[in-house]
Structure 1
Amino acid sequence: MIKLLVSKSRYALLRVFNLWFLLFSFLLRLVFFIWHFDEVSLKISDVLLTFCLGFVFDTGVCFMISLPFVIYLSIFPNKWIGSLFDKIIIYFFSTLTLFTLVFTFLAEITFWEEFKNRFNFIAVDYLIYTYEVISNIKESYNLTLLIGIVLFITLLLLFLFHKKKAYSNTFAQKITVKTRLLVFFTFSFIVLFYIKFIPNTLAERMGNRYNDEISKAGIYSFFAAFRNNQMKYQKFYTTIDNDKAFAIIKHKLEEPNSKFNSKKYPIHRKVNDNGQINTKGKNVVFILVESLSASFLNKYGNQENITPFLDSLTTKSFFFDNLYATGTRTVRGMEAVTLCIPPTPGQSIVKRPENHNLFTISNVFKSKKYKTNFFYGGDGYFDNMNSFFGGNGFDIYDRGRGSILNDEIKTNRYNIEDNEVTFENAWGICDENLFDKMITVADKYHNENKLFFNFVMTTSNHRPYTYPEGKIDILSGTGRSGAVKYTDYALQQLFRKAKQKEWYKNTIFVIIADHCASSAGKNEIDIANYHIPAFIVNASEIENQIITKQCSQIDLFPTLFGIMNWSYESDFFGKNVLSNSFEERALLGTYRKLTLMKQDKAMILSDQKKQTFNKWDKESNNLTQLPMDNAFLEETIAWYQTADYLFTNKLLN
């Protein structure tokens, strides 16, 4: 190994390359630390741990990136060192690697800006959907300038490497067999050691999420997420006996008007109407709004006046004042509202295999003779939406660009044609165009005397935040506030146009966010960033009201079915919030953290079979750890363990 540490050796380039990578990684970590200086923990021990752990992860990345080069150096014959072939291979791959890593450093900055995280499972997902991601990058950033900066830094580094004679020494020095074997086995052993014994979760020990994330290395985090995109609950989380877990959940789901009619474990039951005003025979238009945080509304202190229409609905609807999203991704919101189930660890059920023919809200609507339709302004291939909705009874309307449904899915798919589109960006057509398409389909079913349930997923409130010019007083593409205001404007136009239709008076509109615009903060679960608005509009026989009970996305449709006075079969974990038997609680999480919140108490389950019990201060959005409450812990485990068990064992059908 001494040869590796000497600049005048065959390993000179490897040495300089690793020193450069460690320096840049440190500087990037320092940038993130200064960026959130007011939110990171400044305790000396936490600061030291942040940067020391960071060095550990960066060193691991160095060894992993370097291993292919070490293998090349180990097997390349001495007699050909410095040959044209040797120079071409080393120059080409070192330049390509430098360019890729510099680009990755810049990509980490943009990813952090959006998600306040190192690369995680979201970055893994983005690898699959290259069209949307590349288009989003093109529309969000000056790609020519970005590539120019990356190229300039790469060329500058190559120049410095030459000044340090890294290349000339690499092409001039021979290496002994002993040195080759020593270096190869050392690097291989260290890489295997990191893979086996240094988990990405090693960073999560400071009690401040920003310190934890900053201490990680983006590339290391990316591959850790890639390996753990699906997580088995029984393996990673604290469990209790299944009989006990289901007994707890059945008790929580009990209602005077429901009766369990299943075998031992499933929660299948018959929910009978509860005597409210009869609204049978009403169409339902459901709108899942991209990234609509409650904090955007004037009611919650926002002074930008970017949601005037939604603000007006807070007193003209059933308005859910204290409702929380289950997750941080669109697919989590879809999972919550369609399956009415707590978030299970790892990937959303929307993206998992074997997620067809589940018991969803579509089953309830179809039992009442409704046509169920799913509308998305982009390509429904993204995030597996077409497969999930098509495989669970919905007809699909999307901007398909040629994607098709699996042959085994017995459903219809319709393309949104070019002549129906006036504006489109990376994620899909603008919300106005999407709503117009939905209205056209609603007209069709109304003329055929058919009831319809139309599920609409919006896209305009998403980076690059572009929308048709001249609609609102904020320029397109200038930021989130404009996108929120355009989304609000498009919803207002939807209602203006719908009110001109015969079917409007017989249609209930339901509006809810899929998740907040940002979910990251200094806490392991940043509860304030799960608070979302929800509205049930035009249930005209019912007096409008503000619902202040703490509840979850999974409760939205059971509440709607209660308002509609329906009797129906249910496999749902959600309940009717308006029922006197409803017990206030919210279920929320990330792909690794699972939380049960009751009022200001929050139990957080983590992988590695860990858990913390906390008090949430709403004003400061801080979590303070409390002594463990075993009854609260068992209930938390029961919600998530049973949900995972039912899906894993195919009992949600």
Structure 2
Amino acid sequence: MYPQKIKPFLYLGFFYLIVSLIVRIVFFFHPITTAHFGFFEVLKVLVIGIANDVFVFILASTFLALYFLFLSDSKYKKPYGHTILGALVLLFFYILLIPNNIFKQYGGSIAEVALAFIGLKIICFALMLFLPSKRIKIRNTLYFITLFLYVLLIVFNAVSEYFFYNEFGLRYNFIAVDYLIYTNEVIGNIMESYPVVPLFLIIFAITTAITWVIYKKTKDELKSLPNFKQKLVLLGSFILLVGISLVCLGVTTQIKSSNVFAEEIEANGFPKFYWAFTHNELDYFQFYPQIDQKQAESNFLSQFSAPLLTRNVTSEQPELKKNVVLISIESLSAEFMQHYGNEQKITPFLDSLADRSILFTNLYATGNRTVRGLEALTLCIPPTAGESIIKRENNKNKFTTGSIFKSKGYDVKFLYGGYSYFDNMQDFFAGNGYGIVDRNNFKPEEITFANVWGVADEDMAKKAIQVMNAESKSGKPFFNHWMTVSNHRPFTYPNGRIDIPGDAKSREGGVKYTDYSLRKFFEMAKKQDWYKNTVFVIVADHCASSAGSTELPMDKYRIPAMVFSEEFIQPQKFDKLMSQIDLMPTVLGLLNFNYQSKFLGQDVFKKEFQSKAYIATYQDLGFVKDGYLTVISPVKKIKQYTLSQKQDKLTPEFSIYYDEKLLKETNKKIVDDAISAYQSTSYWLKNNQLNR
């Protein structure tokens, strides 16, 4: 009898394993998977992957096991049925009417979810209590719905994992958690990026068909329900399997492979999502390698002329109170520009502007998300493990580029075409003294086009000109940080602006339209009185993609940056390796600012500048210096690569890093430098030493 009672689990489990296997095979052959696999490595990935899937399915079956556990005819007999129904009704009114009930104390929508669940439970229980002749039909209907939800989750998760992998070259991570939180932007993005209606129709059709097959094969199991003793045996067996699965998952999820893609393909998305949800911050001092704290600080601060965290930056020249406009461009990889070898001519304006600017040709982003780029340009510190500072609770009153300008009497603002609550930008910038201009400040007639991420860049350009004109009339200089949005999936924009249709949804179109919008901005700016007294800083927030066969592929972090100002900035190329966190200290140096600094980036034109870069994901912290890439990771792991240089055939004066070779023996001096940088930054943040 017992084997018959597990038929629903066997059918669902088999379906889940088949779907997961198909997803893995697709990932093996996906274009983003740049690694190559030998036969035995493929076999290893599949074996570990199947094991992960089995253990995850057992854990996910907990809800189905509870559903079967509470199936019973005896609970509808007097007096149990009426007592249970009465208790459910009392619980419903407790949640509905008591202001400080236990559900509402958790905040969010938990109370509403509990109320809906209990309400549905009351309806179903009452029907089965008062309509015994319909009990089997009602139970079968509820069983079909339960199976449908399980099958839908399996199918929908497979589709979601594919699209996530297609975008990031990874299974679920912190970004997936963000997507769950910011449902409006994410659902809107999906609606605008993909053929959602046909896709959902296919998903529901497949789900319905599979559910019907499993239902027909297993519905007879509901005719004879196990008694209390049998349920205890089944429950005990299931609890044992859950315990084994938890232990085994702890082992299989720690098995490492020769490259990142192998680890991602053999992994299961559900544990990765759970891990990301519960680990949005990583304690450096718990998970990462360390050296003596005083030695770490001494090593790190030795790069500055005054080896102190708080130090005086002085200039022999008089300060220049020029306006500064910092434009951080969404997802603009260096490879999109002709100056870096692109032949598509999708950034004609930026390429022309680069010829008249200081062009930083060997600059690397600190991360692969917008908040990382904003953090690097605003705080000028290396990235730290876990989420960006912008998204953390302790993100206010920091020492920022805005605080420097504000101390000099500048009007300081953050401009964003979307709703700045996204990614916690509003909380961060407002909490650090920035005025905010976002989509909330637009009148309907000022918006010619918008998608889920915000108004089109050309609309934001017009608004920026309005803001800057108003600031100029106040008699104060201004510092405005504008974050663009149009070069983001779904890559939609107004038709008729460029030669790529706005509904083509192509990344090249997104890049070219952003370039078009920036041209329009500069055309408008050039007509304003404040234009010649303004320094424009143009830089990407991060690259378009960060997927690669190693943890931190260098070419996926290289971004363009330039500083332009008519009759002030003399065109030149700066080819030394540098970090995104060095850009704003360099701009402040060009303005001859005198200030007390806590920035951890350097002015690249100072004689003490040390050429280096910081590149990171949420876990892996990379440090590039002297031809080495050092990566420190949880749990206290260290990898070091030697980096070769390659001259681009189109632009031989530029070099990019490639062909990363893992060293058997590490260069200890560089390792110590890497640890010193990340350990010191984490320590100072933890102790609020980077506050104003």
* TM-score between the two structures when normalised by the length of structure 2: 0.86
Alignment correspondent of 2:604: 577
1:55 match: 50
Whole-angstrom distance in 2 between the partners of 1:39 and 1:14: 37
- Structure-2 residue corresponding to 1:605: 632
- State yes or no: 1:524 paired with 2:551: yes
**Of 37, 46, 49, which residue of structure 2 is paired with 1:42?**
37
Partner of 2:183: 130
Contact 1:558-1:574 within 8 A present in 2 as well: yes
Question: Is the Cα contact below 8 Å between 2:32 and 2:166 reproduced in 1?
Answer: no
Q: 1:559-598 to 2 correspondence within 5 Å?
A: 559-598=586-625
Distance in 1 (alpha carbons) for counterparts of 2:251 and 2:452: 32
Kindly indicate whether the alpha-carbon contact (under 8 Å) linking 1:292 and 1:514 is maintained by their aligned counterparts in 2: yes
1:357 is aligned to 2:397 = yes
SS at the partner of 1:231?
Answer: coil
Between 1:368-377 and 1:112-121, the stretch displaced more is 112-121
Which amino acid is the alignment partner of residue 398 of structure 1? D
Partner residue of 2:115?
A: none
Matches within 5 A, 1:183-202: 183-192=234-243, 194-195=245-246, 198-199=249-250, 202=253
More deviation in 386-395 or 11-20? Answer: 11-20
- 1:455 is aligned to 481
Is 1:419 the counterpart of 2:445? The answer is yes
Are residue 515 (structure 1) and residue 542 (structure 2) matched? yes
8 A Cα contact 1:376 1:457, kept in partner: yes
CA offset digits 1:46-89 (Å, max 9, x no partner): 21221112112211220122111112223433658983453233
1:468 equivalent in alignment to 2:494? yes
Q: How does 1:360-439 map to 2 (within 5 A)?
A: 360-400=400-440, 415-439=441-465
The alignment status of 1:167 with 2:219, answered yes or no, reads yes
Q: Tell me the residue number matched to 2:276.
A: 225
Stretch moving more, 204-213 or 343-352: 204-213
Letter in 2 for 1:624: K
Residue 232 and residue 182 in structure 1: after superposition, are their counterparts in 2 closer, same or farther (change >3 A)?
farther
The structural deviation recorded for 1:525 is 1.0
SS in 2 for 1:621: strand
Give per-residue Cα distances to partners, 1:390-419, cap 9 Å, x unaligned. Answer: 00010011113xxxxxxxxxxxxxx22222
- Alignment of 1:535 onto 2:562: yes
Question: What is the rounded CA distance, in whole Å, between the counterparts of 2:287 and 2:237 in structure 1?
Answer: 32
Separation in 1, partners of 2:54, 2:566: 60
Helix, strand or coil: the match of 1:83? helix
Aligned partner of 1:45: which letter?
F
Residues 27/483 of structure 1: CA separation in 2 closer, same or farther (3 Å cut): same
| Cross-structure match for 1:411 | none
Output the CA distance in 2 between the equivalents of 1:630 and 1:540: 46
How far apart, CA to CA, are the structure 1 residues paired with 2:460 and 2:618? 30
- State the partner residue of 1:630: 668
Q: 1:371 and 1:485 mapped to 2: Cα distance?
A: 31
Partner deviation per Cα, 1:344-401 (whole Å, 9 max, x = no partner):
000100000021111111111011100100011111010000000000010011113x
Partner residue in 2 for 1:270: 312
Match of 1:264 in 2: none
Q: In 1, are the aligned partners of 2:168 and 2:545 still within 8 Å (CA)?
A: yes
Match of 1:289 in 2: 329
User: How far did residue 241 of structure 1 move?
Assistant: 1.4
Name the counterpart of 2:572: 545
User: How many angstroms apart in 1 are the aligned matches of 2:680 and 2:623?
Assistant: 14
Match of 1:110 in 2: 163
SS at match of 2:204: helix
Alignment of 1:248 with 2:299, yes or no, is yes
- Look up the match of 2:285: 234
Distance, in Å, in 2 between the alignment partners of 1:621 and 1:191 is 45
SS at match of 2:61: helix
CA contact (8 A) 2:147 2:215 kept: no
- 1: CA distance, partners of 2:614 / 2:232: 54
1:154 is aligned, of 207, 210, 213, to: 207
* Cα distance between partner residues in 2 of 1:395 and 1:372: 6
Which of 385, 406, 411 is the equivalent residue of 1:345?
Answer: 385
TM-superposed CA distance for 1:290, in Å, is: 0.2
SS of residue matched to 2:666: coil
Q: CA separation of 1:504/1:118 partners in 2, compared to 1, >3 Å: closer, same or farther?
A: same
Q: 2 CA distance for matches of 1:557 and 1:176?
A: 72
Assess if the C-alpha contact under 8 Å between 1:200 and 1:221 holds in 2.
no
Aligned to 1:26: 21
Alpha carbons 1:328, 1:516 under 8 Å: kept: yes
Separation of aligned partners in 2, 1:204 and 1:565: 53
The corresponding residue for 2:685 is 647
Deviation at 1:207, TM superposition (A): 2.2
Displacement of 1:196: 6.0
Q: Does 2:338 align with 1:312?
A: no
Q: Are 1:523 and 1:622, in contact at CA under 8 Å, matched by a contact in 2?
A: no
The two structures, once aligned, show a CA RMSD in angstroms of 2.0
Q: 2:11–2:214: 8 Å Cα contact kept in structure 1?
A: yes
Shift of the 509–288 alpha-carbon distance from structure 1 to 2, 3 Å rule, reads same
CA 1:397–1:189: 2 relative to 1, 3 Å = farther
Mark the CA change 1:583 to 1:200 in structure 2 (over 3 Å): closer, same or farther.
farther
1:328 matched to 2:368: yes
Cα distance between partner residues in 1 of 2:468 and 2:349: 23
In 2, Cα distance between equivalents of 1:42 and 1:362: 49
8 Å CA contact 1:70–1:183 kept in 2: the answer is no
The 1:180/1:139 distance shift into structure 2, 3 A limit, reads same
Answer whether contact 1:323 1:550 (CA < 8 A) is retained.
yes
The offset of 1:203, in angstroms, is 5.6
Larger Rg: 2
Query: Which residue identity does 1:105 align to in structure 2?
Result: A
Aligned residue identity for 2:687: N
**Superposed structure 1 runs of 4+ greater than 4 Å apart:** 78-82, 176-179, 192-197
Cα distance in 1, alignment partners of residues 500 and 429 from structure 2: 35
Q: 2:7 aligns with which of 5, 12, 15?
A: 12
Distance 2:248 2:300 in 1: 37
CA contact (8 A) 1:239 1:637 kept: yes
**Residue of structure 1 aligned with 2:469, choices 440, 443, 448:** 443
Distance across 1 between alignment mates of 2:689 and 2:234:
53
1:111 to partner: Cα distance: 1.2
Q: Distance in 1 between matches of 2:666 and 2:248?
A: 29
Asked if the contact 1:10–1:173 (Cα under 8 Å) also holds between the matched residues in 2, the reply is no
- Alignment-mate amino acid for residue 363 of structure 1: S
Q: Which runs of 5+ in 1 are unaligned?
A: 261-266, 401-414
- What count of residue pairs does the alignment treat as equivalent? 621
State the identity as a percent.
39
Query: CA 1:95/1:530 → structure 2, altered by over 3 Å: closer, same or farther?
Result: same
Write out aligned runs for 1:610-625 (5 A). 610-619=637-646, 621-625=658-662
Which residue in the other structure is 2:107 paired with? none
| Pair 259,210 (structure 1): closer, same or farther in 2 beyond 3 Å | closer
TM-superposed deviation, 1:279: 5.8
Aligned amino acid, residue 427 of structure 1: W
Cα distance in 1 for residues equivalent to 2:178 and 2:223: 44
- 1:93-124 Cα distance to aligned partner (Å, 9 max, x none): 22122223212211111111111111111010
Partner of 1:410: none
The offset of 1:212, in angstroms, is 1.1
TM norm structure 1: 0.91
Change (3 A) 1:193 1:124: farther
3-state secondary structure, aligned to 2:5: coil
Contact preservation (8 Å) 1:528, 1:618: no
Distance 1:143 1:38 in 2: 25
